[in-house]
Amino acid sequence: MIEGISSFWFLFPILLLIYQFGGGLLIRLIKKTAKPVQDYSYTPLVSILLPVFNESAHVLDTIQSIVACDWPTDKLEIVAYDDHSVDDSWAWMQQAAERWPQVRIFRNETNSGKHVTLSRALAQSKGEILICIDSDCLFDKKAIRELVSSFSDPEVGAVGGSIGITNVNSNMLTVCQTLVYFYSFQVGKMIQNLTGHLFCISGCLFAVRRELFEQVEHEVKNRNWFGLNVRDGEDRYMTHAILMRGWKTILNPDATCWTAAPDTVKQLFAQQIRWRRSGLRDLFWTWARLHKHFQVIGVWPTLAALVPETFTAMWTFLIFSAFLTGGFPEGVVTVAKAMLLFSSVFLGTALVYNATCKKAASGNILIKNILLACPAGAWFFMDSIIITLLALFTFDVGIWGTREKVTTAESIAKTTVETSPVKSSSQL
């Protein structure tokens, strides 16, 4: 009996992986099902809200890619807001403001966190459609048009895009992230996309109706976890808040932007634990309000998002229970099985990725050594176990995650001098 239950707990997450990968891939291949209803004649004023922290020259590249998009110049504004970076980000933002008239820049007097910065950018914007992005992203030429056209459905409140990796072949870590992003945006989210109930739109590329952002921004900015203010996971929380107001949230896989994945264990760890805390908070929040979710969102869309996330979190305890109940040999066998499973899934994903990869500049970059997918999968499993445990027993640390730099007197002095030509948020 106990052995049967143990087998179920181990096999069920595997079946969920097959369900998500196989079902999502099938949906993705059926173009009309995967893509939202669109109207390309809809051209409202669009405001790009660009929070910046320690991005240096990358912020100029990001702004340049936005300006180059296939979108009317008179229907676009870029509101770039620096969260008191300690590097030379502000100087690069000044260059952008001087070069392009649709760019306006502002700066926090103290580091305040991403969502506070987004809220302040919102106050300075005028657009009917807002696109919240990360300051290290590069836009595909048609990204804005693809996002905005998806609001032709009056029930759609927010639209996300797909994120690609620019440094695919740096090392095994970047190959791993390439496959995770590909799986998530091109396959994994497609089942939720069917019903218009995407539970997390990435903050890299998050388009939302202005009135909705204004409704939820105070709630998102002032959220807490057992009384402790939370500064990460604003994209997931905002998506969820919009869903709970009865709106659809969807993904348009043809709206693409690009970002560089962390290429060191330290950077990747900081990013992943930030994301995992956000995911676990959202998971517990959903369970605590399950009845309300059933009423507003529906039973099937809620369970389609809730069950995979729940069993993913429980895998950590499955591993430890294997060691506790079966001893060291049984635990090692369980871990080996799981690592083999993830290696196989990652290898299969890599084959699909390369087979569907576009060689054009706007497409994905081929994985040169496809066998790196195997250790990437095994590493991802073990890393996820550690990350989940740490996230469960730690609280928000109040940082941006991968963009932290050591604050020195010299860098602060340099940044302060460079802020003088433009007013800060407190002066406006």
Reported as a single tens digit per residue, the pLDDT across 316-326 is: 777 777 666 66
Q: Is the pLDDT of residue 125 over 90?
A: yes
Query: Among 117-121, 207-211, 253-257, 414-418, where is mean pLDDT lowest?
Result: 414-418
Q: What percent of the chain has pLDDT over 90?
A: 46
Query: Among 57-61, 275-279, 333-337, where is mean pLDDT lowest?
Result: 333-337
Question: What is the average pLDDT across 22-34?
Answer: 75
Residue 322 lies in a domain: no
Per the structure, the complete domain to which residue 255 belongs is given by 15-36+153-299
pLDDT for 7 equals 60
Q: Is the pLDDT of residue 425 over 50?
A: no
Q: Tokens for 293, please give them.
A: 């979710």
Residue 316 lies in a domain: no
Residue 406 lies in a domain: no
Q: What residues does 50 pair with on adjacent strands?
A: 80
Query: Among 19-33, 46-60, 209-223, where is mean pLDDT lowest?
Result: 19-33
Tens-place pLDDT, residues 365-399: 889 999 999 999 998 888 888 888 888 877 555 44
Residue 317 lies in a domain: no
pLDDT for 423 equals 34
Q: Is the pLDDT of residue 183 over 80?
A: yes
Q: Are 131 and 71 in contact (CB under 8 A)?
A: no
How many domains are contained in the chain?
1
Residue 184 lies in a domain: yes
Residue 234 lies in a domain: yes
Q: Report the mean per-residue pLDDT for the chain.
A: 83
pLDDT for 13 equals 64
Residue 373 lies in a domain: no
Residue 236 lies in a domain: yes
Residue 51 has φ and ψ, to the nearest 5°, of: -75, 135
